[in-house]
Structure 1
Amino acid sequence: MTSASTSHRESFLVPSQLDGVGEVLARFERLRSAQINDTLWVEGQTALMEGFSNAVRHAHRDLSPPPPVAIELSRTSVELRIQIDDHGPGYDMEEAWRQLDREQASSDYDPLEREAHWGLVLLRQLQRQRGWQITYQRRREQGYRLSISHRIDPLPSQAPSGAGSGG
């Protein structure tokens, strides 16, 4: 049985403008829990900011007026999840990652020469090296959904239950 304190979910719309970042971060902060370690938390914030800024700068770039970005944030006792819905034409993220993998496998690859698409690199690193689940799929309605999630591992306890010197 889970208690109400072990889960939180928020769905909201943010104007498609980069200055909406403050609101997005403030709402994400409401999910904070002692159960989530600092590294996982920062990775989640980073992925959220990248997804939101991509919706504003790329997906909604040619839409006038740009529709709001729909965001759903949730935390349970076992998972942290971010969903960002945009109204753009989308792109093939899996193919973009395959191309990135080919570039990085090249013997003459120099990451410092990369001029664009750093968010793609970042999300790929979170997926490959940090265990984040990331998908970008067409919605039934117009647009696409970026889903980003990670399992929440229990934090090691400071001391076994009943142990300690009292005091």
Structure 2
Amino acid sequence: MTILQKIKFIVQSQLPSLDLVLDYLEYCHEPWISPQDWSCCQIVLAEGFTNAVRHAHRDLSAEHLIEIHLTLFSHGIEIKIWDEGKPFDLLRYSQNLLRSPNSFELGGRGIFLMRTIATHLSYERGTDQRNCLFIVRQFSTEEECQNS
């Protein structure tokens, strides 16, 4: 698996930083990535970042930062978003959402959206007491793009 681009950056935990986060993603944009795949990359990154700000860092001071790693491969992209919030059971939350989607407020559906778009989605507590949202988006094949 050849890495085509690898970007690491840290941003302030505030919603206006989303513009900067998406600007960093643009460094990974290649002409061969389909518009649909690229939109999906933007959506999952934006959802993951805003969830970290709104939920993981909700009760933390502004000095807490969010670290993001973007790794582009020819077959897809890996996104890692580290926050300093309390641990969160993504699997259980997702299962509850699938059982009764109407019980969640509109804002809680971002995880459902990320699960739908991402090839892989996980959220784990690291030994450094940070949480890592790990997102993988596999790009469509040329044949899939022509058939859609």
TM-score computed with the length of structure 2 as normaliser: 0.86
How far apart in 1 are the matches of 2:125 and 2:105?
Answer: 28
Tell me if 1:32 matches 2:19.
no
**Identity, % of aligned positions:** 32
Matches within 5 A, 1:1-167: 7-104=4-101, 114-127=105-118, 132-155=119-142
Unaligned runs of 5+ in 1: 157-167
TM-score computed with the length of structure 1 as normaliser: 0.77
Contact 2:12–2:62 (CA<8 Å) still a contact in 1?
no
Contact 2:67–2:81 (CA<8 Å) still a contact in 1?
yes
Q: Compare the two structures and name the one with the higher strand fraction.
A: 2
| Larger gyration radius, structure 1 or structure 2 | 1
How far apart in 1 are the matches of 2:128 and 2:35?
Answer: 36
Q: Compare the two structures and name the one with the higher helix fraction.
A: 2
Contact 1:83–1:145 (CA<8 Å) still a contact in 2?
yes
**Superposition misfits of 4+ residues, deviation over 4 angstroms:** none
Aligned partner letter, 1:145: C
How far apart in 2 are the matches of 1:98 and 1:148?
Answer: 18
Contact 1:73–1:82 (CA<8 Å) still a contact in 2?
yes
Aligned partner letter, 2:109: W
Quote how far apart the aligned CAs of 1:154 are. 4.5
Q: Secondary structure at the match of 2:81?
A: strand
Between Structure 1 and Structure 2, how many residues are aligned? 143
